[in-house]
Amino acid sequence: MQKKSLKVAVLRFPGTNCEFDTQYAFEKLGHTTELVWHENETLPEDIDLVVVPGGFSYGDYLRSGSIARFSPVMKAVTAYAEKSGKVLGICNGFQILTEAGLLPGALKRNNNLHFISKHQNLCVINNDNAFLNLCDKGEVLNIPIAHADGNYYIDDAGFKKLEANGQILLRYSDEKGEPVVVNGSVTSIAGVCNEGKNVFGLMPHPERALEAILGSEDGLRMLKGFEA
């Protein structure tokens, strides 16, 4: 099958710091990327994916992602998502998407109050979506995490909906895929998608797992999923 080349918009807020790694990752896969400043009211034309990258937008003031979500560009992202456009939020991007209401739940301070930065095993929970379709259900991926506010919270009713709709993407796990407590997340959730399965969010950084010699290349397969 001919590989599809994607046009990826990578957002940039004051305090974003993973935008270049994100561009590097998608360009390594043969895609084109464009940085989009938060003051832009529109997204570039003909894009296939919007990535809200990691970092510390607005210094994490008030709550992580709470200020960035009111940026002009986020109105365009919301409109794009409502038209089934694909959006991926990584780390602070995940926090911004939950604050914006594009993803259910919220991200609280880690239970142990530490900033956790390490390689972490993740178990793939659902792969019938545009993001993880190249990964196997139950597969264990090794992806770095680096966050202070990654403790995913959702109420019981919301959790049941997530589970029933197959919206749980990833859980923190051991090498066998058994869930482990990393930051206090509800049932060790590391990533979720919306009901329409076009908006994705995760705390781990796939864009930092591109070279086996640097610890893991599992991130490539995750990001490559969007080609399908």
Partner 1 sequence: MTAVVNVFLKEGVLDPQGKAAHHALDSLGFAGVDDVRIGKQIIIKLDTEDKAEAEAEVKEMCETLLANTVIEDYTIEIS
Among the listed ranges 15-23, 97-105, 124-132, 133-141, the one in contact with partner 1 (CB under 8 A) is: 97-105
Whether residue 207 lies in the annotated active site? yes
> Does residue number 161 form part of the binding site for partner 1 (CB under 8 A)?
no
Give helix then strand counts, H and E, for the chain. 5, 11
Q: Measured between alpha carbons, how far is residue 153 from residues 89, 120, 158, 227 in Å?
A: 17, 20, 10, 31
SS3 breakdown of the chain: % helix, strand, coil, rounded to 5?
30, 30, 45
Query: Which of 41, 46, 83, 113 is in the footprint of partner 1 by CB under 8 A?
Result: 113
> Does residue number 188 form part of the binding site for partner 1 (CB under 8 A)?
no
Min dist CB 63 to partner 1, Å, is 6
> Does residue number 109 form part of the binding site for partner 1 (CB under 8 A)?
yes
- Distance from C-alpha of 25 to C-alpha of 129, rounded to nearest angstrom: 20
**Torsions phi, psi of 123, nearest 5?**
-105, 130
- Distance from C-alpha of 134 to C-alpha of 181, rounded to nearest angstrom: 26
> Does residue number 85 form part of the binding site for partner 1 (CB under 8 A)?
no
Q: Site size for partner 1, by CB under 8 A?
A: 19
Q: Measured between alpha carbons, how far is residue 86 from residues 31, 47, 142, 187 in Å?
A: 15, 9, 24, 26
Query: Which of 22, 92, 98, 198 is in the footprint of partner 1 by CB under 8 A?
Result: 98
Min dist CB 148 to partner 1, Å, is 11
Residues that bind partner 1 (CB under 8 A): 62-63, 66, 70, 98-99, 105-106, 108-113, 151, 153-155, 184
